[in-house]
Structures are given as C-alpha cells and as structure tokens.
Amino acid sequence: DTAVSQTPKYLVTQMGNDKSIKCEQNLGHDTMYWYKQDSKKFLKIMFSYNNKELIINETVPNRFSPKSPDKAHLNLHINSLELGDSAVYFCASSKTGIDSGANVLTFGAGSRLTVL
Amino acid sequence: QQPVQSPQAVILREGEDAVINCSSSKALYSVHWYRQKHGEAPVFLMILLKGGEQKGHDKISASFNEKKQQSSLYLTASQLSYSGTYFCGTREGAQKLVFGQGTRLTINP
C-alpha cells in the first residue's frame, strides 16, 4: 500500500497549457506539502496545508494554485505553463507534534513535468 | 535561509568513510537527514533534536552541535547502496522544513 501517491508520474506539455498533479496520503498525517526539485536537485518548499488550511505559501507565481479538499489530499494546478516550470514536483506529508517522530516528511514518488 | 552542505560531491570506493556537513547561519533546533537515490523520492534517515545528540543506524550516524549551528552525517565502511544525494533539513517555524543544496555521494566498487 503506497503511503503517499502522486499522479501522474510524468507530464509533457506545451508552454501556455494548464496541468494538474494530484496527491493522496493514507498515513493519517495532518500536514501535506508541495516541494519543487529543479535540475540542480535543489528541493524548495512551495506550499503546505494543515488540516485543509494553507499554512505555508512561499514566493511562488500566482499561476500555481494548491487545493486541499481534505487532509488526505493535496492537489496542485498550474496555469499558463512556462519553460522554467519544468521540474520534479514532490508531494509530502507529516504529522504535527513535538515528539521525535513528528514533522518527519514522507515523500511521494514525484511528478516530472516537462514544458516544451 | 537554507542550510549549507559541504562537500557538494564525494566519490568513494566501497569500504571508505565519508563525512557530510550541514551548517546554518540561524539557530538550529533540529536537523533532519534524508537520502535520495537517483530517480526516487527523498527518504528520511534520522532526526536530531537536541544539541550534542548523536544517532545512528547500520553504519550511518549523525551528530548535532547546537552551539556551532551545524550537524554532520558519518558514513562508515560505505556500501554501494549508500550512493545517492544526501540532504539536511532545518526547521523554520513549526511546519516548514528547508533543505540544503544536497551532497552527491558516489560509491564505486
């Protein structure tokens, strides 16, 4: 049973198009994240939701819009795609708390977006 | 501000040791270590919560020097399976984990 699952695994699209990536976790975690990993492997946080509430919104273009219908799901919609959006997008989840196991991220397998 | 890792890349022969460092210009309250194999997702290795804490499993261990605002990851008698990119992560606020730029470790037979 996959803990954090993302779909699709690969997207290839033209500039200007709109695309969505979906993420689901079955770990019972209450916080979910989107990270972007560029070609240099840098992992940069984009958004985070805690119990459906947006708690982290980094300096990301407005073309990126996350949505969390419930605490087990987090989607990412990207409008008007640009060449620079090409990257691997990772969904992750964690539980909130102060014990040593809290806030540890479990990542999905990633969605590789290629904008032509 | 992201933590800084060094070195950026390491190439070892199987059985050799490696140290990866992670330092921050801000006070550190905890340090996470993750490993990402090529084409896969990052996977959690360990978390250090207190200054002076040391942890390890198998032949991978880490230390956390709170005063120096740094952590080090030690890989002893490296195995081929240790190859990958290692990331340290530090907390900014309650939920935000910021990663270093990664250290690429290559183990050759």
Greater confidence (A92 vs B96) lies with A92
DSSP state of A102: T
| Distance in angstroms (rounded) separating the CA atoms of residues A42 and A22 | 22
- Chain B residues 52-71 with CB within 8 Å of chain A: none
- The strand pair at A19-25 and B70-75 is best described as unpaired
Contact A50, A72 (CB under 8 A): no
pLDDT for the residue numbered A99: 61
**Residue contact B94–A56, C-beta within 8 A:** no
Nearest to A104 among B40, B44, B102 (CB): B44
- Number of neighbours of residue B17 by Cβ within 10 angstroms: 11
| Distance in angstroms (rounded) separating the CA atoms of residues A9 and A3 | 15
- The band of B1, judged by pLDDT with boundaries at 50, 70 and 90, is confident
pLDDT for the residue numbered B70: 92
DSSP state of A85: G
Using one digit for the tens of pLDDT, what is the confidence trace for B13-67?
Answer: 999 999 999 999 888 888 999 999 999 999 999 988 876 676 777 789 999 988 8
Query: What residues in chain A have per-residue pLDDT under 50?
Result: none
Among residues B103, B20, B40, the alpha carbon closest in space to that of A9 is found at B40
Nearest-5° Cα angle at A53, A18 to A83: 25
Residue whose token pair is 């407005």: A62
Amino acid at B42: P
Burial group, residue A69, by CB count within 10 angstroms (0-12, 13-18, 19+):
exposed
pLDDT for the residue numbered B58: 76
pLDDT for the residue numbered B52: 66
Contact B8, B104 (CB under 8 A): yes
pLDDT for the residue numbered B27: 82
User: Which chain B residues are Cβ-neighbours of A96 within 8 angstroms?
Assistant: 94-95
Coil, strand, or helix at residue B82? helix
Mean pLDDT along residues B87-95: 85
pLDDT for the residue numbered A12: 97
- The band of B88, judged by pLDDT with boundaries at 50, 70 and 90, is very high
